[in-house]
C-alpha cells in the first residue's frame, strides 16, 4: 500500500482525519481539494491544495481519491473519479438513493477498480 498516492477531497473534520490516517499508513497524500484553495490552505498540516476537483483528477500522481464531502456531492464526484481511472474511498453514503448507488457500483465494476471492503 505504501506505493499508493492519494488525494483527499474535503478539508473539514473528516477530511483532516483521512489525511492523518493515510499518512500513518505510509501513504503519500499529494494534495487536497477544499471548498476553495484558500480555505484548504488555512488548515494547518494539510498538503498543498489543488485549484479544483478537476485539476486533482488530472494529476497522474493520484491513484486513489478519498471523498469526505457533503453527501449530495458523492454521486457526481465518485463518477468523475472512476471515469478518470482513480480508485475511490467514499465516506458513506455512496449515493443518495439505490439508483445512484447501483449506477456507481456498476461503473466501478466495469472500470476494474473495485476492491470492496465489507
**Is 43 known to be catalytic?**
no
Task: Give 28-35's long-range contacts (Cβ < 8 A, gap of 24+).
Answer: 28/4, 29/5, 30/5, 30/6, 30/59, 30/61, 30/62, 31/7, 31/56, 31/59, 31/62, 32/7, 32/8, 33/7, 33/8, 33/9, 34/10, 35/11
Q: Which of 13, 92, 115, 117 is catalytic?
A: 92
Which residues form the catalytic set? 92
Amino acid at each position: 500500500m505504501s506505493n499508493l498516492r492519494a488525494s483527499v477531497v474535503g478539508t473539514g473534520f473528516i477530511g483532516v482525519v483521512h489525511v492523518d490516517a493515510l499518512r500513518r499508513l505510509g501513504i503519500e497524500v499529494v494534495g487536497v481539494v477544499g471548498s476553495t484553495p484558500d480555505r484548504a490552505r488555512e488548515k494547518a498540516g494539510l498538503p498543498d491544495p489543488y485549484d479544483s476537483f478537476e485539476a486533482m483528477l488530472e494529476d497522474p500522481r493520484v491513484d486513489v481519491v478519498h471523498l469526505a464531502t457533503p453527501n449530495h456531492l458523492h454521486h457526481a464526484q465518485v463518477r468523475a473519479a472512476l471515469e478518470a481511472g482513480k480508485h475511490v474511498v467514499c465516506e458513506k453514503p455512496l449515493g443518495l438513493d439505490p439508483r445512484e448507488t447501483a449506477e456507481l457500483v456498476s461503473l466501478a465494476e466495469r472500470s476494474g477498480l473495485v476492491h470492496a471492503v465489507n
